[in-house]
Each structure stands twice: as structure tokens, then as C-alpha cells.
């Protein structure tokens, strides 16, 4: 079987699936003939949680949903959210002050999830639901895992039956109730007329159907803007702990750019190297590692070598960023972690769709700018304050489900740079850690893709 190729036909759960690894073909599906490709049936597992929201819908409903929420994600409103993002990171650092983060370490898989949810609640909802955040986080994860288990499993109980189990029923109830409370509180208090919550509330009527659509939208933003960003941050910490020289280079940049000032819209733009590091994390380890579309009518997908692929109607086309981001055709030495790949000159030499961590075309991630600023800002603040080491003795596994996330807790030791400057040495041996087991051994497509 080909080790590195433009495409492969697979059989997944009884469906013929085209795995497309060719940048020209991917651009065609995402952009040039996007009207012929709708979200695939594999997304249906998210329906009990997300209903008919922007992530799942098509046609007129999707256009309406995209239009009503897009203004919140324009550059200016996002710049205005930066002080709230900074406060969320600062408050995470304050929580750590009572913990022994330098020896015992801290689980950054959990902490980044909490941070991402806190940022969302502060910026898009203007809600301080800290007492609820942990419960909400647990409920979101429970429901997401249920959906994920369905994607690849052969034996599936209907979701309406699974959702009778108390674990799932209670999680769904908690989230529905929280969203209901958010809506009711906002309808009483009009203090933030332009944030996402107010905009969504204004866009929907009072009928049951409209209220249900509104609930689906809120739930989607809570989910789509939460797990993804948190995963990107924890993997950044993981790869940076393997590459202390890159962490130090980021520190040099951050020290010059921040120069004792808090992060702002102006100075974040100057964090060029930090941004390249984050882009490389999402190449090496794309959080949304695969996407899929179903063709509507028969089509011919053009490839870079001038040939075409015949696509029958209702064929699932899988766009696997994990595989494409490691194709030797587009990336020299793809298994090496190297942020220099994202220097502007190098980027110009690659086809645009050799890199798509946020998808592409009209359905590209709506939160892309929000996620980039939040992630670079959080990493920069972390780098500015601490040196980082992965705690030895952990078996870290990447689980390729809907997102590519670490399994369970991931402990890091963080030593304050201020303390190091005052003569406190690193209180432990810095060990050379083995690289993460390559995804190859776990990825369902390993035999053809990477
Ligand atoms: C590192 C963080 C993130 C990554 C890697 C990411 C990735 C993606 C990808 C790949 C898609 C396209 C899925 C497809 O085409 O099937 C998507 C869609 C979407 N994302 Fe993100 N996302 C991130 C953060 C966020 C944030 C912070 C928000 C909002 C606060 C958000 C909101 C959305 C929405 C609403 C969609 C659906 C867009 C549409 O279909 O019109 N995402 N995201």
C-alpha cells in the first residue's frame, strides 16, 4: 500500500470513504465546488447535543446563523475582548499560587479546559459562572465522549436509549438548564447589547422552534470554543517541554515585546515567533484532526497531477489535516517540530490547502481569530512567567476522536522565573523525555495516510 499518496479509498462502518490528501482537491471541496458538499453523516453523533446549530446546519439556516454571529468575531470586537482574556489567565495563575506547581506539578489538561471555558463565559457571554464552570465542563466532556465513542464503534445503541442513562441525562439537563438561566438572566439585564449572547437572543423569536435553535447555538459556541482551544494549549505545552530551546526563544520575544506591560491588541501583534510556534503545534498536532463532507451529485475532483477523481453521489470525502500536515510532498522532514516553517517566506511557497487546522472556505472556523489571539496570548503569559517541564513517569497518549486530545491528566512542573532569578534553582532533574507515541499506531487510517 502507498505510504504517501494523494488519496485512498477506505471502508468505514460500511461506508465507502475517500480520504483526500491533495491540496488542490481539498481546495475544490472546501471552496471551489463547496455547494456540492454538505457536512457528512459522521457529524450526526453530535445532534443530541448540538441540534441544528451552525456547526451542523446547511443552506438558509446556516447562512442565517453565520450572519447573526459573525459580527462578534470581527477584528475590533475581538481586540476589545483581550483585557477579559488576560484577566482569565491571571486568575488561573492566582489559583496556582496555593498549589505546589513546581514539584507536584499541575494537570494542564484540566487547567486549560477550565481556562478556555472561563474565557468564553467572560468574553462572549459576560457571565461569571465560576461556580458552575466545573460542572458544565464535566457535563460537556461526558456528552462529547458519548458522541466520540459512536464515531468508530460498530455496535451502537440508539442515542435516544443511551440518553436515558442517568450519566448522560443529567449532563444534558445541567447544560440545558444553565443555558436557559443564561438566556433568562440576559433578557432581564441588557448591559451587554453587542456580545454574542445578546446578539443571539435578538436573532430568535419566542416560538418553541426558535427557542430550541437559540439553545443549540449557545451550546455550540460553548463546545466549539472550549475543547479545541484547550487541546491546542495543552499540546503546545507538551511539545514545548520537549523543546526547551523554543520555549527560551519565546521568552526572549515576550520579554522584549511586553516589556513589563500587560498584553494588549497592539503588542500581541508583535509576537511573531510565538504565533509561528502555535501554528506549528496545529500542523504537528491538529486538534480537529479530520473533517468530512458528503457529495450531493456526481462530481470529478481535480488533483495536482492533472488527473480527476470520480465521485458518486453521497460519497463521504474525508479531509484529514493530520495526514496532509505530514505529507513529505508539502513539508520537509514532517516529523520534526519546527516553527520556522511558518516564517512568511516559507508559507508563500506552499499550496494554501496543505495546511488547514481551522478548515476552509465559507465554513472555515468562525472562531479562528478568537482562538489564535486567546492561544498566543495565554502561551505568551505562561512563557513570560514560568519555565516548564513535563513531569516524568507519565504515559501520554493522543486519542483521535472528534478532537485529538490527550487521554486523562497531563502533569507539568512550572517554576516561576522570578524565583529562578532570585537564586532558587530548578528543584528537580530535567530529564530528556521520549517523544509521544506517534499517532500512526492509533490512527484508524495509519496504514494509508501517514
Ligand atoms: C484552536 C482552536 C480551534 C480549532 C482548531 C478549531 C477548528 C475548527 C474547524 C476545523 C472547524 C471546521 C469544521 C468543519 O469544516 O467540519 C471549526 C468550525 C467552527 N468553529 Fe472552530 N476551532 C477552534 C476554536 C473555536 C472557537 C474559540 C470558536 C468560538 C468561540 C469556534 C467556533 C466554531 C464555529 C461556530 C464553527 C462552525 C462554522 C461554520 O460551520 O460556519 N472555534 N472549527
The pLDDT of 129-153, averaged and rounded, is 78
CA 268 to centroid of ligand 1, rounded, Å: 22
Cα 327 to ligand 1 centre (Å):
23
Compute, in angstroms, the gap from residue 368 CA to the centroid of ligand 1. 7
Ligand 1 within 6 A of CB of 72: no
Of 57, 116, 228, best ligand 1 pocket probe by most atoms within 8 Å of the beta carbon: 228
Q: Which domains does the chain have, with CATH numbers?
A: 7-445 (1.10.630.10)
- pLDDT for res 190: 81
Beta strands in 248-343 (DSSP E): 291-295, 299-302, 308-311, 316-319
The DSSP annotation for 403-424 comes to SEEESS--EEEEEEHHHHHTTP
What is the percent of the chain where pLDDT is above 70?
A: 91
Give the up-direction half-sphere exposure of residue 406: CA atoms within 13 A in the CB hemisphere. Answer: 25
- Which position has the higher pLDDT, 44 or 280? 280
Whether 278 is in the pocket of ligand 1, judged by its Cβ within 6 Å, is no
Parallel, antiparallel, or unpaired for β 15-20 and 316-319? Answer: parallel
93 pLDDT higher than 80: yes
pLDDT of 426: 58
pLDDT computed for residue 109 by the predictor = 94
pLDDT at 264 over 90: yes
Give nearest CA residue, ligand 1 atom 1: 229
Residue minimizing CA distance to atom 31 of ligand 1: 367
**Residue 146 in grid coordinates:** 458519548
pLDDT at 133: 79
- What is the tens place of the pLDDT at every residue in 354-369? 999 999 999 999 999 9
Q: Is the CB of 370 under 6 A from ligand 1?
A: yes
3-state DSSP assignment of residue 294: strand
Cβ–Cβ < 8 Å for 138, 150: no
- At residue 311, what are phi and psi to the nearest 5 degrees? -120, 110
Mean local confidence (pLDDT), 103-120: 94
Q: Please determine, for residue 164, whether its predicted confidence score (pLDDT) is greater than 60.
A: yes
The per-residue pLDDT for 60 is 94
pLDDT at site 450 = 28
Question: What is the reported pLDDT for 108?
Answer: 97
Query: pLDDT class for 424, splitting at 50, 70, 90?
Result: low
Residue nearest to atom 36 of ligand 1 (CA): 365
Task: Kindly state the average pLDDT of the residues 155-182.
Answer: 84
Q: What is the pLDDT of residue 436?
A: 53
Q: What is the pLDDT of residues 212-243, one digit of tens each?
A: 999 999 999 998 998 899 999 999 999 999 99
Task: Among 367, 370, 378, 403, say which to mutate for ligand 1: greatest number of ligand atoms within 8 Å of CB.
Answer: 367
Q: How do residues 273-303 score in pLDDT, each as one tens digit? A: 999 999 999 999 999 999 999 999 999 999 9
Q: Which residues pair with 317 in a beta bridge?
A: 18, 293
What pLDDT score does 422 carry? 61
Residue 444 in this model has a pLDDT that exceeds 50: no
Q: Is 450 in the pocket of ligand 1 (CB under 6 A)?
A: no
Average pLDDT for the chain: 89
Amino acid at each position: 500500500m502507498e505510504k504517501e499518496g494523494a488519496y485512498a479509498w477506505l471502508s468505514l462502518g460500511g461506508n465507502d470513504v475517500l480520504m483526500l490528501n491533495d491540496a488542490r482537491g481539498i481546495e475544490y471541496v472546501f471552496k471551489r465546488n463547496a455547494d456540492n458538499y454538505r457536512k457528512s453523516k459522521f457529524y450526526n453523533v453530535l445532534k443530541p447535543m448540538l441540534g441544528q446549530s451552525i456547526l451542523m446546519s446547511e443552506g438558509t439556516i446556516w447562512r442565517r446563523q453565520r450572519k447573526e454571529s459573525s459580527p462578534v468575531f470581527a477584528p475590533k470586537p475581538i481586540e476589545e475582548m483581550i483585557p477579559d482574556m488576560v484577566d482569565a489567565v491571571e486568575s488561573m495563575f492566582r489559583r496556582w499560587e496555593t498549589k505546589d506547581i513546581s514539584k507536584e506539578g499541575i494537570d494542564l489538561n484540566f487547567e486549560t479546559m477550565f481556562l478556555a471555558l472561563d474565557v468564553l463565559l467572560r468574553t462572549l457571554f459576560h457571565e461569571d459562572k465560576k461556580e458552575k464552570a466545573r460542572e458544565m465542563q464535566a457535563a460537556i466532556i461526558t456528552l462529547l465522549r458519548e458522541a466520540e465513542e459512536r464515531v468508530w464503534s460498530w455496535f451502537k445503541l440508539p442515542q435516544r436509549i443511551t440518553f436515558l442513562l442517568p450519566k448522560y441525562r443529567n449532563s444534558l439537563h445541567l447544560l440545558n438548564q444553565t443555558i436557559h438561566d443564561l438566556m433568562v438572566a440576559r433578557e432581564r439585564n441588557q448591559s451587554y447589547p453587542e456580545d454574542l449572547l445578546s446578539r443571539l437572543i435578538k436573532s430568535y423569536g419566542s416560538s418553541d422552534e426558535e427557542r430550541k435553535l437559540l439553545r443549540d447555538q449557545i451550546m455550540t459556541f460553548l463546545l466549539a470554543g472550549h475543547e479545541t482551544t484547550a487541546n491546542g494549549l495543552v499540546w503546545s505545552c507538551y511539545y514545548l517541554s520537549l523543546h526547551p530551546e523554543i520555549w527560551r526563544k519565546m521568552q526572549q520575544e515576550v520579554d522584549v515585546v511586553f516589556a513589563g506591560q500587560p498584553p494588549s491588541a497592539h503588542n500581541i501583534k508583535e509576537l511573531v515567533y510565538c504565533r509561528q510556534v502555535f501554528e506549528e503545534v496545529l500542523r504537528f498536532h491538529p486538534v480537529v484532526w479530520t473533517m468530512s463532507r458528503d457529495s450531493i451529485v456526481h462530481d470529478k475532483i481535480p488533483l495536482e497531477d492533472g488527473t480527476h477523481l470520480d465521485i458518486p453521489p453521497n460519497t463521504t470525502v474525508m479531509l484529514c489535516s493530520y495526514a496532509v500536515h505530514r505529507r513529505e510532498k508539502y513539508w520537509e522532514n514532517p516529523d520534526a517540530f519546527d516553527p520556522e516553517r511558518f516564517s512568511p517566506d516559507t508559507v508563500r511557497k506552499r499550496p494554501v490547502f496543505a495546511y488547514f487546522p481551522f478548515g476552509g472556505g465559507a465554513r472555515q472556523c468562525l472562531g479562528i481569530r478568537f482562538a489564535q489571539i486567546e492561544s498566543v496570548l495565554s502561551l505568551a503569559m505562561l512563557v513570560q512567567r514560568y519555565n516548564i517541564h513535563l513531569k516524568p513517569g507519565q504515559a501520554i497518549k493522543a486519542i483521535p476522536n472528534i478532537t485529538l486530545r490527550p487521554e486523562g491528566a497531563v502533569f507539568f512542573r512550572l517554576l516561576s522565573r522570578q524565583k529562578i532569578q532570585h537564586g532558587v534553582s530548578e528543584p528537580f532533574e530535567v530529564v530528556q523525555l521520549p517523544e509521544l507515541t506517534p499517532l500512526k499506531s492509533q490512527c484508524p487510517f495509519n496504514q494509508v495516510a501517514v
